[in-house]
Amino acid sequence: MALTDDQIKVAVRAEIDNDPGGLGYAAVTGTEAEINAGIAAKLNAKGVSVTDPFTKVQRDRVVGWELVGALVYGEYASLTQMQRDLFETIVACGQIDPRDTNIRTIFGQMFGAGTTTRTNLLNLEYRIGSRAENLFGAGFEIKVWHVGQARAL
């Protein structure tokens, strides 16, 4: 369900007032237009880590080469032949839904807690996004007018 403009305004206003991600909205100075543009730019800027709860965005698919790229060779080599075969079957699917409970359970059982491969595979559920995408969904971009209307509330 898409949000209404009023819902977006209220949410942006709360974001600006509370700044839970510490993006520094209050430090933006200038004319009203410059402040609105500066805050919009901060909201639309990409984060720096897939583990940042304020900028990570859930993905709906991961392609096979990303799964292979998440492997640590020594951890993969220590799997049983059956586990390696299962992993290769998953990769051969071409793409998977990283949110799928079965897939996450399989990866969790293949690679023990604390292994780098397990962490890498489970983190593929997310990508680095912007605060705007984190708040409103993948691909969402805050416009300067959103900020202006929110600040006018």
pLDDT in tens, 82-117: 999 999 999 999 999 999 999 999 999 999 999 999
CA distances from 98 to 21, 30, 58, 63 (A): 25, 43, 9, 10
| Nearest Cα to Cα of residue 51 among 132, 136, 120 | 120
CB 86 within 8 A of CB 106: yes
The 10s digit of each residue's pLDDT in 36-89 is 999 999 999 999 988 899 999 999 999 999 999 999 999 999 999 999 999 999
Q: How far apart are CA 53 and CA 129, in angstroms?
A: 10
pLDDT for 150 beyond 80: yes
